[in-house]
Every structure is written in C-alpha cells, then in structure tokens.
Amino acid sequence: MKTLLKFVVFAALVAGLVPLYQETRGVDPAQREAVTGKLRELKALDTDWNVQVLRSKTGLNKHYDPVTQPERIALQLLDAISPQLAAYDYRLKEQEQQLREALMTKMDVIDRFKAQNAILRNSVRYIPIATTELKAKAREAGDAIPAKRAEMTTLAGNADQVLIDTLKLETARDADSNKNLRQLVGTLVERRGEYPQPVAESFDTFLNHVITISTQKEREEELLEELGKVPVLARIEALDAAFRTAFERAFAKHEKYTMMMYGYAAFLLALLAFLLGRSSKPELQPAMA
C-alpha cells in the first residue's frame, strides 16, 4: 500500500514535467528565419512591383503581366507566414491584417492604373494618325470649298499645335501644359459647328482622343500619388519588428522554462535516487544476545 502511494506521488511529480515541456515547445529559431525571410521576400517583391509600375507607365513594359503577377505572390507569401504569426502572439494577427489591407489597396490602385495606362497608350499611339486624318479632311474641304480654305488651313495648323502640346504632356509633368492644351482645344471646339460634315466627324475623333489623353494624364498623376501613399512597405516593417519582438519574448520564456524543466528533472532524478537508495537499504537485524 505504502509502495503504491509512493509510486502515485512520484508519477504525479513526473507529470509536472508535462506543462513545463509544453512551454518549451513551439519556439524554433528556424521558424524565425522562415518568417523574417518571407517578409524580406515580400519587401523585395514590393520594391520590384513599384519599379514594374513605373516601367509600365513609361511604356518599357509591353504588357501588364509584370504588374499583375506580384499580386498572387504577395498574398501567397503572407498566407504562408500567417499560421506562424498567430502561434506567437495573437496581436500579430492585427498587424498582419493591416498589411493585407494595404496590399489589397495597392492591388486596387494598380488595377486602376492598368486600365488608365492602357487607355492613355491607345490614344497616344493614335493621336498622330488622327491628326493626319483631320488635316487631310481639312485640306480636302478647303480644296472643295474655296470659302473655307483659310479656315481649314488654320484648323490644320491648330491640329498640329494640339498634337505637339498633347505629346508634350507625355514627357512633361506640368499642370499648366494641360491647362493650356485645354484652352487651345476649347477654341477649336467653339468653331466645330462651322466645319463641313466630314471634317467635323474627323475632328470629333481627334478631339475625343485629345481629351482622353489630357484626362488620363491627370488620372495617372493621381493614381501614382495614391500608389505612393499605400503603406505596404511600412506595414511589412511594422509586422517584421512586431514579430521579432514577439519571437524574442517567446524565446526568453522558452529559455526560462527550459531551465526550469532541467532543474525540475534534476530534482526528480535526485528524488528517485534517494527513494531507490532507501528501498534497497537492508533492514537492521536485532543484535543477538
């Protein structure tokens, strides 16, 4: 009975190791490297993503795959570290969510940028042709109606000026240029009713593209400014710092519990040795008379 009691007590003491052991688990320096490595990748991806947007803006990218593919990779990287973040500190979830929101905002702005850039590229590519077509129609009308010749010659000259000013918008980031262009176009629009029908139709097409370029240039500036304000990088860094802090805290706790577990295990071993020593000691025989 007494032996059974000793066994139960000892088993209970051994069971005390379990919670200590549990506390020492789950903190692996390799995990820290994995998470911080993924965040580093995300940071590099984000930087390259911005470069790709600028390449698309300037027409160096011939297609939008380079500004589209990072979306999926960024979310995959974040998904990959998500379980580890939650395991260290529930508060990291909030920071992860903030980063996710920033990424979604960035994707949204980039989606709008792609649409805007495609419209702009199309019109910029077409405007010289539209100008040539308008000038040809004006020349034909001038030849056919001598009374209109002077007006048509002026229109052709103005069309050339509009073309130059429109193309300048592509190179100069200047709000005044856009304003001046709109003024010039405004004067042409006022006379639109006087143009012969074929010229008026050609003028409408020309005008449509000039307005598109002017509007889309403004939109481009707004979008790029908006993109610059999306705090993806700041949130990656914030998450990285918070994770490192949480990891260090968890690691310190892990070290503490490891020491405690070793100490406790040593105590149990000593106790076991003591008990074994006692149980193996021969009982003293009464001395013979």
Partner 1 sequence: MKLRKKALVKSLAILALAAAGTASAQQLSDEPIKPLEKPNLDARKVSLGRAMFHDKRLSKDNSLSCASCHEISKGGMDGRQFAVGIKGQVGPINTPTVLNSGLNFRQFWNGRAATLEDQAAGPVHNPGEMGSNWAEVLGKLNQDAALVGQFRALYSDGLQPKNIQDAIATFERSLVTPSRFDRYLSGESNAINGDEKQGYQLFKNYGCVACHQGQGVGGNMYQTFGVLGNYFKDKGKVTEADLGRFTVTKNELDRYVFKVPSLRNVELTAPYFHDGSAKTLDEAIDVMFRYQLGRTAPAADKALIVKFLKTLTGEKEMQ
Which residues, in sequence order, are CB contacts of 16 under 8 Å at separation 6+? Answer: 264
Centre a 10 Å sphere on the Cβ of residue 216 and count the other Cβ atoms it contains: 22
Distance of CA 165 to the CA centre of its chain: 35
Residue placing its CB nearer to partner 1 in the complex, 61 or 258 = 61
Report in angstroms how near the CB of residue 281 gets to partner 1 at its nearest.
55
Helices assigned H by DSSP within the chain: 2-15, 17-24, 29-57, 65-88, 90-144, 149-171, 175-190, 197-229, 232-280
Taking the complex as a whole, the smallest distance from the CB of residue 19 to partner 1 amounts, in Å, to 29
In the structure encoding, which two tokens stand for residue 3, read together?
């032996």
Closest to partner 1 by CB, 79 vs 248, is 79
Two tokens, residue 244:
């490192």
Q: What's the closest the beta carbon of residue 66 comes to partner 1, in angstroms?
A: 9
Structure tokens at 29: 């320096």
Q: Considering beta carbons, is residue 24 or 205 the nearer one to partner 1?
A: 205
Q: Name the residue nearer to partner 1 (CB basis): 213 or 242.
A: 213
Least distance CB 4 / partner 1 (angstroms): 43
Between CA 99 and CA 105 the distance in angstroms is 10
Q: How far, in Å, CA of 161 to CA of 181, rounded? A: 9
Nearest to 57 by CA among 126, 142, 136, 114: 114
- What whole-number distance in Å separates Cα of residue 42 and Cα of residue 37? 9
At closest approach, how far in Å is the CB of 262 from partner 1? Answer: 36
- State how far the Cα of 225 lies from the Cα of 67, in Å rounded to an integer: 17
- Choice between 130 and 239, CB closer to partner 1: 130
Report the residue number, 68 or 258, with the smaller CB distance to partner 1: 68
Minimum CB distance to partner 1 smaller for 64 or for 88: 64
Residues that bind partner 1 (CB under 8 A): 62-65, 68, 71-72, 75, 111-112, 114-115, 118-119, 121-123, 125-126, 130, 205, 208-209, 212
Least distance between partner 1 and beta carbon 68 (Å): 4
In terms of C-beta density within 10 A (0-12 exposed, 13-18 middle, 19 or more buried), how is residue 5 classed?
exposed
For the bound state, the minimum distance from the C-beta of residue 271 to partner 1, rounded and expressed in Å, comes to 43
170 and 124 in contact (C-beta within 8 Å)?
yes
| Phi/psi of residue 250, nearest 5 degrees | -65, -35
Which C-beta is closer to partner 1: that of 125 or that of 191? Answer: 125
CB of 52 to partner 1, least distance (A): 12
